[in-house]
Amino acid sequence: MDTFIRKLKTIWQSKDLRKSILFVILMLVIFRAAAHVPIPGVNLANLRTFFASNQIFGLLNLFSGGTMENFSVIMLGVAPYITASIIFQLLTMIVPRLEEISKEGEAGQRKINQWTRYLTVPLGFLQAYGTITLLRQSSLPIIEDVSGLRIAVIMLTVTAGTMFLVWLGELISEKKIGNGISLLIFAGIIAGLPSTLRNAFVTFDRSQLINLVLFAVISIVTIIGVVVLNEAQRKIPISHARRLEGGRMASGAQTFLPLRVNMGGVIPIIFAISVILFPPMMAQFFVRAKSEWIVNAANGIIRVFQDQAFYGIAYFALVFGFTYFYTSVIFHPEQVAENLQKQGAFVPGIRPGTETARYLGHITNRILLFGGLFLGLIAVLPLMLQQFTGS
């Protein structure tokens, strides 16, 4: 504890770090202030009733930090930007030209980032229109004015709000404190924590004590586990061939190639959430269709995905599968083996080239098995606790 306090003091005494931290805090305050600026002409009471009665939209509202429930100017959050980023990450696997640009270093990354921002705009309009269309199907009147001009203004406003958040995220990233988009997502998720704690204290009785202690213990263990998993890595020993330096033969250096257990970070969870929410969200468009069989099919899909057992199993499987999928996107053993060979480096006991690539692929698959299982367990842990405690 003393070491932790000393590190905090050291960080605060650094003028540049102190300014950067204060700047990041200011940007997060602006983000949360914008989350409470509602768009006029929306019945917020009916909107909150709708989110409380709809599990799918309730989950989306949770990840947006309550911006959807408030129908704020940043209602969409950074979701369109994340979708655009995922699209370009996948396109780099398919389009050779994009793959070449991604290998151009910082200049290539700047190009892809710029195209990602361009794609965010139409995706923002599309997601805004889809959200408005779904809300209009509610039995409760939510949007008072549904004229074409009014809908267009709302779409333009919330898309501009998304681009504003992207700008804030980039400003935060420039301070080198952390990834700005990730910090905004984190701030949105924990925004409801104070109200949750307040409600817990207001409605507290002794019968809930065991559950509260259990939640606290599991929360601490989960945080520790996530940190350990995120930092865990398998070090592959790398030897360098002997080289001639100043007329003398220098022995090769010994280094390590670190392979992270969790190479994909939270991206597999984001992928899984996007996929598992897509069917019930699409079904919401057809719950008021004129054809009876379409209505029955839509309601059936919604019921299936609201089943906690099915939802949990599907969610776990998707997270586990996307862990392997995304790692295959960002990590290429063949390229790593080729680069090692060009540098005159090799894995002791493994022949350079194809054998090294096969070895790295085998090691990666083994560590991803543990990483994927753990990440999937973290994803479904809230559902397991809910079933276990009945709360």
Q: What is the pLDDT of residues 284-341, one digit of tens each?
A: 777 777 788 888 888 888 888 878 888 889 989 999 998 888 888 778 888 888 888 8
Instruction: State the CB neighbour count (10 A cutoff) for residue 386.
Output: 12
Q: What is the pLDDT of residue 252?
A: 56
Q: What is the mean pLDDT of residues 126-149?
A: 78
What is the band of 226 on the pLDDT scale with cuts at 50, 70, 90?
confident
DSSP assignment, residue 75? T
123 Cβ neighbours under 8 A, 6+ residues apart: 80, 83, 84
For every residue of 318-371, DSSP letters joined together read: HHHHHHHHHHHHH--HHHHHHHHHHTTEE-TTS-TTHHHHHHHHHHHHHHHHHH
Which of 57-71, 82-96, 153-167, 335-349 shows the lowest mean pLDDT across its residues?
57-71
More confident of the two residues 271 and 2: 271
Overall residue count recorded for the chain in this entry: 391
Q: Of 18-27, 276-285, 366-375, where does mean pLDDT reach its minimum?
A: 276-285
Query: Could you tell me which residues are beta bridge partners of residue 237?
Result: 256
The pLDDT value recorded for residue 163 is 93
Instruction: Give dist(CA 78, CA 83) in Å, integer.
Output: 9
Q: Residue 27 contacts by C-beta under 8 Å, 6 or more apart in sequence?
A: 168, 171, 172, 180
Per-residue model confidence (pLDDT) at position 159: 93
**Per-residue pLDDT tens digits for 227-268:** 888 888 888 888 876 654 555 545 556 788 888 888 877 778
What's the mean pLDDT in 103-119?
A: 86
Judge whether 245 and 256 are in contact, CB under 8 Å.
no
**Percent of the chain scored above 90 by pLDDT?**
9
Stretch (H or E) spanning 240: strand 233-240
Cα 188 to Cα 168: distance, rounded to the nearest angstrom: 14
Q: What is the pLDDT of residues 336-369, one digit of tens each?
A: 888 888 888 888 888 888 898 899 989 998 898 8
Integer CA distances (angstroms), 319 to 165, 288, 307, 323, 326, in order: 27, 32, 18, 6, 10
DSSP, collapsed to helix, strand or coil, labels residue 257 as strand
Mean pLDDT along residues 168-188:
84
Instruction: State the angle between helix axes of 354-389 and 333-342 in degrees (0 to 180), rounded to the nearest 10.
Output: 140
Residue 342, judged by CB atoms within 10 A of its CB (0-12, 13-18, 19+), counts as exposed
pLDDT digits (tens, 9 = 90+) for 33-66: 888 888 887 777 777 777 766 666 666 666 665 6
Q: Taking 70 as the threshold, does the pLDDT of residue 389 lie above it? A: no
